[in-house]
Structure formats: C-alpha cells, structure tokens
Copies of this chain bind each other. A is one copy, B any other.
C-alpha cells in the first residue's frame, strides 16, 4: 500500500506584516524554523490563516523565495497557489515548482459562485494542463464557509481519474468530521487532512493523513505528539492530555476573530509586537478583546 501524501502535521502559518504593510520575511522565516523545530512535518504557508489572498502575487512569490533562500527545504513547504484567476493560479504554481516545491494547496477559483461541476473540473484540469509538470502534486482545499465554492466528491473523482498521481490530498476545513470520514471512505489513497486542530485525532483514527491547521501556530508540539503517538496504547494518557491542550487552545482563539487572536498570542509569546498586524479587511482585536483574550 502506498503511503498517503502529504502526511503529518502541517502548520497553516500566520504571515507577519511589517510597519510598511508588506509580509515580514525575517519574522516569517524565524516562525517556520520554530514550527519545524516544534515537530511540524511542514509549513502550509500562504493559506487562509496566512492571509494569502490579501497579498499580491508578487508579495506571495517574494515570501516563498525568502523561505527557500533561508534554507528551509522546499519539500517541507505546501504553499497555497489557488486564486480567483486561473492564469494566476498557473503562474503561482509554476513559480513554486521552480523553487523545488512539489506539493501545493489549491483553492478552487472563488469569485464566481454556483459554478457547475464541469466548470470546476475544467478549472483544475486547465491548471494541470498548463503547468504541465509531472512533479506537481495538488492538495485540494475545501473550505466552503470562506471560498463559498465547495468541492464535490464527483469533481474529486473525475480529477483523480483524469490525472492519476496529481491530486494526492485534500484539506477539509469545513469542520465536519463526518465529511472527512466520508472522503477517506470514498477515495482510498487520498490524503485527507483536517483543517480543524481538534479533529486531527479522530480523523487519524478513521484513516486520515494528518492536518493543516491554524492553532498549530501555537500548539505545534502538541499536534506533533498526537500525530506520532495516537496509535500507541502505552501513550494514550499523554495523547489525551496533548489533545486537551489542543482543544483548549482552539477554544481560546475562537472566542474572537481567530487569525487576529492567533497573531496576538504569537506576538506575546515570541515578544515581537510586529506579529500583531493584519491586512484589511482583517483587523487586530480591539483593546478590550485583547485584554479579555490575555486574561483567559
């Protein structure tokens, strides 16, 4: 049996922003190193948590280049490259491959709503055809509450049949364990990754591949521990304890806006106030919210 790919704990890394409004390369590289040191298998940078869709293509490319130039192995990076414009998705994906990345996380084109299954299939298929690189591995990104474009099972089946070996995984951020379990059951060999930290453990028990999650910015070590030891009866108590800390962290950052909460706590934890910035339409927590979160 072939191993699932990708497999493990991938951090949906936050993106720090400079006073001049640009992604902060130095802080980001330091964060990636920290996450890997804490046990993450890789960095799913430039996703929803990373505010990628608030950055230009140039800003996205420059951040990815900075991470690779800093010596972080490109095979440990799963950058998001799916944007609204098909030709831009192609360009971002090619760029990632040119840096040695092989696996990207790809949103469906998310401007038009109510698109047909044929249209969604055509969009992904045309990206694969135009990128035209056998190294390409795609993790589909199902996050209907944000993209408002769900990825139906029928489309996944067609893509896997048309491009064997290319569509290797799916990040399921809809927050519904039953949907993740149904994906595992429907698509043997597809790496199903939980988009919600507390669901990684039950998903692993159901045959899932791991997670790409936001709270990992704060509790990467706990997630890595759960991933490595979830099937070890001798460590059941430790796994449950780590899982409890993951759930507590997730609940803590879900009281107010999640990305702003994560950035505030990370800024406090590493002593870098610059981590507190967000790009509109997202905003930092209000002072009252920040005080309440810190008091939790």
A113-B280 in contact (CB<8A): no
17 contacts between A and B (CB under 8 A): A21-B87, A54-B109, A56-B87, A56-B88, A83-B84, A86-B280, A86-B281, A87-B279, A111-B147, A113-B145, A116-B283, A118-B283, A119-B280, A119-B282, A122-B280, A122-B283, A123-B281
Copy total for this chain: 2
CB distance from A273 to the nearest CB of B (A): 19
Q: Which of A54-113 contact B (CB under 8 A)?
A: 54-57, 59, 83-88, 91, 108-113
A242 at the interface (CB under 8 A from B): no
CB distance from A180 to the nearest CB of B (A): 21
B281-A53 in contact (CB<8A): no
Complex CA–CA separation, A18 to B105 (angstroms): 29
Contacts of A282 in B (CB 8 A): 112, 115, 119
A55-B87 in contact (CB<8A): yes
Residue of B nearest to A126 (CB): B280
Q: Which of A146-170 contact B (CB under 8 A)?
A: 146-149
Contacts of A112 in B (CB 8 A): 53-54, 146, 281-282
Given contacts A54-B109, A112-B281, 8 further A-B contacts (CB under 8 A): A53-B84, A54-B112, A87-B279, A109-B280, A113-B146, A115-B282, A119-B281, A122-B280
Interface string of A5-22 (1 = CB under 8 A from B): 000000000000000010
A120 at the interface (CB under 8 A from B): yes
Contacts of A86 in B (CB 8 A): 54, 279-281
